[in-house]
Amino acid sequence: MGSTSARKRNARASATRREAFDALYRREMAFVWRVLRYHGVPEETVEDAVQDVFVIVHRRWKDWPEEDREARPRAWLFGIARRVASLRRRTSARHERRVRELPEPAPERPLDDRAADREALAMLDRALAALDEDTRMVFILAQLEGMTAPAIAASTGAKVNTVYWRLRTARAHVRAAMREDWSER
Instruction: Tell me the pLDDT tens digit for each residue of 85-121.
Output: 999 888 887 878 887 887 877 777 777 777 777 888 8
What's the pLDDT tens digit per position in 2-54? 567 767 666 665 667 888 889 999 999 999 999 999 888 888 999 999 999 99
Q: What is the CA radius of gyration of the chain?
A: 35
Query: Would you state the pLDDT for residue 165?
Result: 97
Report the distance separating Cα 151 and Cα 163, nearest Å: 10
Spell out the domains of the chain, with CATH numbers in brackets: 2-101 (1.10.1740.10), 111-184 (1.10.10.10)
Rounded distance between C-alpha atoms, residue 92 and residue 36, angstroms: 14
- Give whole-number Cα distances, 161 to 152, 158, 165, in Å: 11, 8, 6
Give the whole-angstrom CA distance, residue 178 versus residue 139: 15
**Residue percentage of the chain with pLDDT more than 70:** 90
Q: How far apart are CA 24 and CA 54, in angstroms?
A: 10
Give SS3 for 99: helix
CA distance 12 to 15: 5
In this structure, what DSSP letter does residue 144 have? I
